[in-house]
Structure formats: structure tokens, C-alpha cells
Structure 1
């Protein structure tokens, strides 16, 4: 009897491992470029630089004009060309809600979903539907577009310091994906 139970458990483990391996192939970002994103260190008037995998500054994050809620902007390293602005929408329920804007037009709405054990966000944008899910404690997140993995956000890349690694697949709107990563960082530190 014990042997039969052991065999059934072994078969079940093999089946679970097989199913996991089939679906985990979507867990890795292929043909990706890595970016270094500072953990939230913004104080009024400060900014930080996002670097590429060659440690070259490629984007800058800073405060935009003051208003209700927090307003950030993602620009080129000089701060002259704005790609996207990120606006925190005050929500009486306390759930995170953000807008990503381009040329003062809303291009994406980001809402936090209630989820036990992890965090999920839904993103409705002019670029398609995105989902962000992960774990704030381990600082590991996946960004999927139409159920296909397009980016990962990980603190694992950096053993020391307050930085995230963001891996983005080729062909994506890199500033937009980085804006999503900034939202995740904002929520992680609120």
C-alpha cells in the first residue's frame, strides 16, 4: 500500500514537473536588453538615471510639475525630451492607481488588483493589455502583454545596492516598459 502511494506521488510529481516546464519556458525573457533602475530614492527635486547593460545613462526619472498626487517624468538623460509622465491618482480606497501619459494624453491606466500572496496590476493601454504580477518581498515581477512575457523586474541582478534589473525583450517600447517598472517601484515603497 505504501509503495503504491509512493508510486502515485512520484507520477504526480513528474506530471507537475512536466506541466511546469511547459509553462515555465515563458518565464524567461529571450533576446532581452538589461537596464539598471534605482530603487525609489526620489525626494522633492531629485532625480536618478537609468542605465543600460553597458552602464551608460539612457533615461532619467525626475519630478514633474507639482499637483495632487505624485507626478514623475521619464526623459532622455539630459531631461530635455520627455517620453512618458507617470501620475499617481489619489484613490480613497487606498489601492494604487496610476496613469502613464504621453504629450499630456493618457496612454495607460494601471490598477492594482487584490491578490493574496503576491501583487498584481492590470494595465489597459493604447499599446495593448498588460499584466504585472510578482512578489514585493523578493522584488521579482513579470510583465506580460496579451499573456506573453515581455519583461522581468528583479532585484536579483544586484547583490549590493538599491537597484533593480529590468530585462526587456526586443521590439518593445522600452520607455513604456520602464515606466511600468517605475510604477511597481512606487507601489513597493508606498
Structure 2
């Protein structure tokens, strides 16, 4: 993923470790909202994030194509050394993101567990403003990517 590529109205792709495009993020600029639509490479909608442009964005919702909530991301705590974000998964295991969000060095774990289901790191790349997301294979990869982009939107308004 590349930081700050989702400027208003822009589209970008998320690639896998083989540099193959796996998710398209379609950025739409509407009157009072920025909307990001996550699509697979066949153009099927996976998730939607809507951000109010004038909001502080302490909470953001990720929705499924049918309009149901897939996740709600809350800024739980910001401290000078560590950030923490709560991710509520309706009907599922809630998640927590911990680490240095501003520097793209953090993990996402199931609430109450220490073993990460995703590790987000900028250290793996030499390219400026590029960071990686390593996922546990058993979890919904597009949802974790949508959560990662949502946290990035909230942390870097």
C-alpha cells in the first residue's frame, strides 16, 4: 500500500507480494463525504468507507455491498509513544490495532489476544510512503486492508 494515494477522486491499487493487483480502491468525491469503494479485480464491490470531510473522524464505518456494517473503527487512545484503535466486528471477534500508527508500525490482534492477525510495517520497503500488510491467512484479507486504509485516513487527516 502507498500512503496518501487516496487523494480526492483518485483510484489506486493494492498489490500482493508478487506485485499483482488484488484490490482496487475507487476514490469518489461527493459534496460532504469522501467515499472509498474496495473492489476485487473483476469489479465486484467488497467494502465501502465513507468519511465526512468536515468530521474529526474519531469513528468510521466500513460497510458491505448490501449496506450491513462490516467493521466500526474507533480511535481508542493516542499517547506519545503508542496508539490504540478499537475495531468492532458485528457478530464476530472484535479487534485492536496497537503500535505506532503514525509511522505505520503496528499490529492488529483479536481483542484479548497478543498473536497478531495482521502486521503493518513501513520498515519492509525502501520506497518512500510505501508500507506492507502481512496477514494471517485465515482472516478476511480485504476487510483487514479496508481497516488499514480507514486507520490511515483517521490518523492522517
User: Normalising by the residue count of structure 2, what TM-score does the alignment of the two structures yield?
Assistant: 0.86
Structure whose residues are more often helix by fraction: 1
The 3-state SS of whatever aligns with 1:70 is strand
Listed as ranges, the gaps of 5+ residues in structure 2 are none
- Which one of the candidate residues 52, 58, 61 is aligned to 1:96? 58
What is the CA-CA distance between 1:180 and the residue it aligns to? 0.8
> Which residue is 1:19 aligned to?
none
What is the CA-CA distance between 1:174 and the residue it aligns to? 0.4
In the aligned structure 2, how far is the partner of 1:101 from the partner of 1:136?
Answer: 22
What is the CA-CA distance between 1:177 and the residue it aligns to? 0.5
Report if aligned partners of 1:89, 1:98 keep a CA contact under 8 Å in 2: no
> Which residue is 1:24 aligned to?
none
What is the CA-CA distance between 1:76 and the residue it aligns to? 1.4
Most deviating of 136-145 and 52-61: 136-145
In the aligned structure 1, how far is the partner of 2:71 from the partner of 2:102?
Answer: 26
Aligned residues: 152
Deviation digits for residues 112-131 of structure 1 (CA, Å, limit 9, x no counterpart): 01332222111111232000
Listed as ranges, the gaps of 5+ residues in structure 1 are 1-36
What is the CA-CA distance between 1:52 and the residue it aligns to? 0.5
